[in-house]
Amino acid sequence: MAGLGINQGAAGNISLRAGGKMLITPSAIPYDDITPEMIAAMPIDDNYGAWEGPKRPSSEWRFHLDIFRARPEIGAIVHTHAPHATAIAMARREIPPCHYMITRFGGGTVRCAPYALFGTAELSALALEALRDRTACLLANHGMIATGPTLDAALAAAVELEALAKQFILSVAIGGPVLLTGEEIAAAIEQFATQYRPN
Ligand code: 13P
Render pLDDT for 151-172 as a digit per residue (tens, 0 to 9): 999 999 999 999 999 999 999 9
Q: Is the CB of 124 under 6 A from ligand 1?
A: no
Residue 166 lies in a domain: yes
Task: Give the count of domains, the chain.
Answer: 1
List C-alpha distances in Å: 103 to 13, 23, 47, 74.
Answer: 24, 28, 36, 17
Please tell me the distance from the alpha carbon of residue 174 to that of residue 172, in angstroms, as a whole number. 5
Residue 58 beta carbon below 6 angstroms from any ligand 1 atom: yes
Residue 114 placed within a domain: yes
Is 45 domain-assigned?
Answer: no
Is residue 16 assigned to a domain? no
Task: Evaluate whether residue 180 is within a structural domain.
Answer: yes
SS3 call for 42: strand
Is residue 197 predicted with pLDDT exceeding 90?
no
pTM of the model: 0.97
**122-133 confidence digits (pLDDT tens):** 999 999 999 999
Q: Is 92 contained in some domain? A: yes
- How far is residue 197 from each of residues 135, 192, 193, measured CA to CA in Å? 19, 8, 9
Q: How far apart are CA 24 and CA 171, in angstroms?
A: 36
**H or E stretch at 164:** helix 151-173
Q: Which of 7, 13, 33, 42 to mutate to test the pocket of ligand 1 (most atoms within 8 A of CB)?
A: 13
At 199, the pLDDT band (50, 70, 90 cuts) reads confident
51 within some domain: no
Tell me the C-alpha distance between 148 and 76, whole Å. Answer: 6
The domain in which residue 94 lies consists of 61-195
67: domain CATH number is 3.40.225.10
Residues designated as active site: 60
Tell me what the mean pLDDT of segment 40-54 comes to: 97
